[in-house]
Chain A
Amino acid sequence: MDRVRKLKLVLWTIFGLAFAVAVTRFAVGLGATTNLNDGYGWGFWIGFDVMGGVALAAGGFVITAIVYIFRKEEFHGIVKPAVLTAFLGYVAVIVGLLFDLGLPWNIWHMIIFWNPHSPLFEVGWCVMLYTTVLLLEFSPVPLEPFSAWAKIRAFLIKFRMLFVVLGISLSTLHQSSLGSLFLIMPHRLHPLWYTPILPILFFVSAVMLGFYMVCWESLFTTHMYRREKEASLLGKLLGVARWVMLLYLIIRFGDLAVRGQLGYLTEGGYYTNLFWTEVLVMAIIPFILTLIPRVVKSTAGQWFIASFGVFGVVLNRTDVGGLAHQIGGGVHYAPAWSEYVVSAGVVSLAGLIFMFFVEHFKVWEHRPADPHADPETLPEFDSASQVSLGTPHIAARSTFSLAFIIAMGVGFMLLAGEKVTSKGIDPTPVHAARGDQDTLWIDGNLDGYGVAFPHKVHETNNGGPESCVKCHHMNLPLDKQSVCAECHYDMYIAVDAFKHDWHASPDGGNVQCVKCHNEGVPRSADTASLKEGVYDCSACHNDLFPAGATIVVEQYDALGYAQAMHTLCIDCHVDTASARALAALKYNQEEPAGSDAGMDAGAKDYSQAELIAYNDEHFKVLTKCSVCHTGEIRETVQLTDTQKALGGTVTACPVLPPQELKK
């Protein structure tokens, strides 16, 4: 199979997969199809599609400036493909943005509702205007074969100079304003990236990327369509690009020095490594390579420089767009596979359109041979199945359609099930953990740090079916039909279960203050001023709990799910562990080995703290979060006993500070 057809097959497959995700994203929303969250409102679609896409389109304005402003006629041959790439790049940005926007059908609002203070407003307008300019700049090419359009075409060519200058000016604004977007986030963006001159850095790196991109695109299409190599031309381009790289590096490091942030360069850790990777790949390595004449002239060297540069600058955009943000608080973001697929699909579609144009119109001086017109590669008639496959052209198209449809089917298959239907999140904090139905996975606040809970073991140890009442309440989680839901209206947040105002109101018993409060209305949580007895809700509401329940209402607060779990588990474990420690202490210290009298009354009293200290030393069951919270083991949970759990690792204990365990 020809290279081009192979590439097209791959692109159509990716596009098919992306199409399935795209449909799903619009049907069920962003939450189900992305890993975006309140901490990271922008993710891969902004960081790569929009930030990267705009940057990748920089080849258009750089090359038009070289050819039409500085009149380097020798580069004329690469203007049209560069403008086409730029145009498609902007279309890709717009399409990518339509996926990312929550309400994409409102995108036109930018035209009527103005906020000139917003960099995004400027970005939006520049995208609109520059896409139009690029369309006008490029349309003489597809209009060429149609004589009916000749007048319009002549008109467009006549005003080409205006479009070129407009395009350069708009690009300048636009490339830089992508940097301005992040000026408002000094609290998020790491100091290695945050600088007031971010727009300038973005513009210079866009010019740099423009050179890289033109080279890369020429190399790629030359390889794909077996065109004549443009090595000397590209060598010259890279020779100019070298100075832009140097300028960029001077500004970048000069800025760090002026702002006094050079210390971060040697600090080590994630951000330092990210910075050095980015700068090395986007400018330093390409710059060094361009200094070696042999490398610049060779095709392999050009491949290397262009690929490094393109990757590096896109990495820079992605860093500023999200990777270099620091917000802390246990908030993470890693793109979902569906996010990658949509981005890849947008790029694939742009690639397919590019190939359509170069095959059907005079984008290059010499149109490539039609890759589908090779009669030897595919039979017109398959004698084995007695089926006519049509001309090779049709046969190829059928293959692409088939790839698209199959990929789309696979896409829907992958998306089917929980992820699409469950609003993208776990609907319940309790799961039967995989592989062991007796073990539950309990994650009270759904932050990913849960507990593998051996339910069967607990049931058996606490007295079989009779013991349910010890932990289980009267209603099921999220049951809004029961009276419980009046106080527990949101199982995830702790609420005030005692409706104070209702009790004091004429509707609710009209209780006098002094009936509950001894010394007037308290102004703090000083519970000592509450009259004893009335403080316990169950004194009046004696039908709240079934007999034998370990859950008692003693407090003003109704606990949220996570806290309730902690109370249930920890209280009970403290009791049993204390008893065990007590027994062990007394047995070891006060009685000879083997004696049965270890638990007799009159032995030394141990404080709770002493018992817990003993537990720490000997059983390790209480004072470490990691005993229960064994990290993110949900996918593979088999750990049902404490010994195994001790090997688990926990990176954060977001719910409960350790000191509270000892309460």
Chain B
Amino acid sequence: MATATQLSAPHDSGRSGLWSWITTTDHKRIGILYGVSAFVFFLIGGLEALFIRLQLARPDNTLVSAETFNQLFTMHGTTMVFLAIMPLSAAFFNYIVPLQIGARDVAFPRLNAFSYWVFLLGGLFLNASFLVGAAPNGGWFGYVNLTSRQYSPGLNIDFWVLGLLVLGIASLAAGFNFIVTIINLRAPGMRMMRLPVFTWMTLITQIIVVTAFPVITVGLVFLMFDRFFGTTFYSLAAGGDLLLWQHLFWLFGHPEVYILILPAMGIVSEVLPTFSRKPLFGYAVVVYSGALIGFMGWGVWAHHMFAVGLGPIADSVFGATTMLIAIPTGVKIFNWLATMWGGQVRFTTAMLFAMGFIAMFVIGGLSGVMHSNPPADLQQTDTYFVVAHLHYVLFGGAIQGLFAGIYYWFPKMTGRLLNEKLGKVHFWVTFLGMNLAFFPMHFIGLLGMPRRIYTYRPELGVETMNLVSTIGAHIIAVALLVFIYNVWRSWRRGEVAGNDPWEGATLEWTIPSPPPDYNFTVIPEVVSRLPRWSVTQMKAIPDVPPEPIHVPGGSYWPVVAALGIIGMATGAVAHALWIVLLSGAVLIFSIYRWAFEPFEG
């Protein structure tokens, strides 16, 4: 099975069935797997949000207990960050990046499959904590000493620590893979400054991933050692410093914010030009400001820690760097606006989501800059104002950007267009629900309602706004149902897309939808930044490959290796050393089989 290498028919290798999906190393299939899995996790995280909102719909509510509420907001945050937005972006990295650079797959197809399976099993592992009634309850930031063994003796934080360590492995493996893919697998003529902006933002995101995740890994390993082996990293009695965790976490945590938003910025930078029929305004500036954001993202972490009292100098420096990072972000906003200016704008659903992204992201960005001022931040920190800010950035920003990507590339992935009427309903209902849900939170926060508290007193005077926010959250849920119906219907009966339903400029639109296993019958020669819009046309890509193309035949060792990793985490949670050792042996064995199987023929 693993060794099969076969000649491909023009469009389909004929591989089908469950086993072919489990063993697939095709970046397109892995992209779909990422997308579907991440969307399911997104729904789970959304369900958690609905419970949070129902609990807060009225004062002194008793729908859920304080303990359940802690689990809900912890898992909502952790799920949305690590299991929804990151892997939804990964779905596009996988599916679109190789197509945009004119490659037949990623640099390491089996490592890619490994990343996906580790992500999926890690996500299931985290959520399995609900089954044993011990979901993580220390917040997505896991501050010590709340999360130390002394104050969290149960399994809850064990699941969280181990789950995040496992998910880190998936992100790191994918990071190396895509860095190499984008730098090394570009078609002839695809110079770095001809890369589509989405691919550029992917590269920057992955560079942040491979540099930021080791830092959180170290912080998590310290916490794990403290909890399992009695080390003293976060022990005040031994002279340790609780701020060590906060520094390590936010050193990762702030770059993580850009890991979440840069892919969406990349998507929007593809969608806006296509539907304005104009090249992106200031391509180079958008690329450089993306790189600058990635770089400066490393110098702002302590703005999450103004309330701990770092002193006036640290506060001033981090306040200033935080204001500075708004500049390259603002530059992008103006570039997007200038792209639309004077263009022939087509208000497709993808375009609406991209425009919604700009509008909502600006609001989130502005409240973000408000936090850069330490005295103001002291009033806002740990209140709903911050919740409002981060949801405008992550829902109004990242999620809307990802929806723009779904409407834009769904026809490429399935060969069929999503229904535009339903799409527009989806957009407008989402837009309404989002603003009802998140805008009142600004005022709720400024009036003094703290985050992460399971209830509030009627005297606070925030009942009406909380109710509005809860209604808004449910409107978002309704919009999602419309979207799910649209996907279900369009996947089977949608309008047939053809190669290029949007008259896009980039390479993915030169090939059939969905693309054949090998993507390109011949590797294209790229002569300009916008190959399909240029006067100098690239050579047409033939429909039938002029010579047979070998497509690697899949491998099950990545899945087995991923099972080994998750087995180690499970053994650790169960405090069963033999499971850890056995799973470790499985991991090493499968890596060896993987390394020495004749994969590429």
Verify that A and B bind, or say they do not: no
Which residues does B use to contact A, with CB under 8 Å? none
